[in-house]
Structure 1
Amino acid sequence: MSKSGALDLASGLGGKIDKEQVKSAVDEYEKYHGYYGGKEESRKSNYTDMVNKYYDLATSFYEYGWGESFHFAHRWNGESLRESIKRHEHFLALQLELKPGMKVLDVGCGIGGPLREIARFSSTSVTGLNNNDYQITRGKALNRSVGLGATCDFVKADFMKMPFSDNTFDAVYAIEATCHAPDPVGCYKEIYRVLKPGQCFAVYEWCITDHYDPNNATHKRIKDEIELGNGLPDIRSTRQCLQAVKDAGFEVIWDKDLAEDSPLPWYLPLDPSRFSLSSFRLTTVGRIITRNMVKVLEYVGLAPEGSQRVSSFLEKAAEGLVEGGKKEIFTPMYFFVVRKPLSE
């Protein structure tokens, strides 16, 4: 079961970090980011430490607010957030033409929400690749709780150096995860290596769009806020991602920013002008309640010192995401499907 209450949230704060060390971990994490004067080069060279700290610090908040699938979605009018998230995952499975018995890799799988949904939807065996111990522990427990412990598994590893033989998987996908890679070409090359010839890779990427102006101070601030609140070394453009996947050797089948024709804005769950009972914890009121709850939990010692600061930089990220979405300078769903050639 996903974390549903205050004590559930408190129990996971800090992940695998010793509770006495959470505050210092927050200090170290914040120093990586441009919002606090950090440098992109430092984030890229220390990406493993930065991303692991981020997910140790943030996962419990994510699960409390989002459930088991930590991603945005193209959304129809009248469709709930949860319904849109499932459809977003099903869409990816259909684009990969997944069939029963296929061996599939989820790159950067989080706690495995999409992994479980896609495995059940397509009757495939899905391996989740993740470099964070806490998320893997949570994912394995959730797999067992729904009877997928034997057919789906997790492997702890860096997606820049995967511990799989060449040509292992029938399909590979990533959902808002490879944005953490310090080098997209290197990451895509590893995916290319472990994918069987003639098979496909599909991905939802976090990207800046052609509307982004690097000389615009507001645009730069928004980008810094998103990077801070989401553990990113840098946010690449859609053009950079597409070129990187080509440079890795893939053939592009199709690509599109799915945010462009989403009937409801992808950032709607975080928009302060919007209220929803079905996803209340993500609304402004819900986030204020969570912030104050964390403050109390930290004060009485049920949450480790530093938890409020994690809540604060996640709030800052939410503000940046909404502003970036409204200005159309950022998308969390630049989608492409690519194929590894049958012969090289």
Structure 2
Amino acid sequence: MTDQQRVTEQQRAADRKWPWPAGAATGIGSMPGTDIAEAQRIVLGELALPHLPELPARGPGADLIGRTGGLLVDLPVELYAGRWRVAGRPGRDLRRAHDFLARDLDQMTEQAGELTGTFKIQAAGPLTLAAGLERPVGGRMLRDPGAVRDLTESLADGLRAHVAEVRRRLPRATVLLQLDEPTMPAVLAGRIPTESGLGAYRPVGSSTATGLLRTVVEAVGVPVVVHCCAPDVPLELIRSTGAAAVALDLHLVERLDPVGEAIDAGLGLFAGAAPTLPVPGGEEPSSAQVADRVRQLWDRLGFPRGQLAEQVVVTPACGLAGASDGYARSVLTACRDAGRRLAEE
């Protein structure tokens, strides 16, 4: 990219209307505990960009794969030997996942029904779902490219309906969908082990992966953030799907050039700058430390400071399900105040 092209891209990003407020902070999704009412209160009280909390400590059906499996259309899921698989008919495990989500949406409606800002919801993306969900006859869905396509279409239909339901319940809010793809780099690199552990599934090609993600992004009708907390996130692939932003753990970013190119091209950045667990013997992160982490990355990339608060959302490095209640609240507060610091500069 020439210097003139770079300046043009930066101006386009600066002029763009982002689907979140300047200086925003949010959580990745998961929270500790089992009390959805309290988790929703914390998220709404601490964040300028609140989200629908996920509480995996409640058990199967509240986990990433089970929760997203409950959204699939015409593909019921069930637990078998501790793993989620496609089932012949709806059963108890699917009802449990539906019940968890229904309670969560009811709390969201009760507490956030008059929200006028942006509200984020989360689900597993098609690559991670294909790697985590098994076929009825055994083996991951990833084994069968045709089954992966069918799964992706089912997920797109289910997420379209889910987004519509959230919009109905929050009629004054803007909905933002986050697709969680923690397994994406391993799927692309052929590092997903087979059931025996002696081999691995064939890698999914970049063009195929792009098409799968784009199917979901284009179906839902709202801006999409792709979250991947790994050191080798395929940023160009994510950008080519039409996603509005990417969510990264900044501590795992090894190469700056791809990040800079993605930002240059107009991709928003959800910057995971606060540790999800306490540092042994250390203090909880302060807003100044979190803001410094984001600012230092931005300065190293060479972008104008005035663009930062618009294009970047401050987040924890990943989900907070493994943290204590107090630490989770402190991290969200630090992210919120860090976002405000960056907006005031």
The answer to whether TM tops 0.5 is no
Query: How does the TM-score come out when normalised to structure 1?
Result: 0.31
Query: How does the TM-score come out when normalised to structure 2?
Result: 0.31
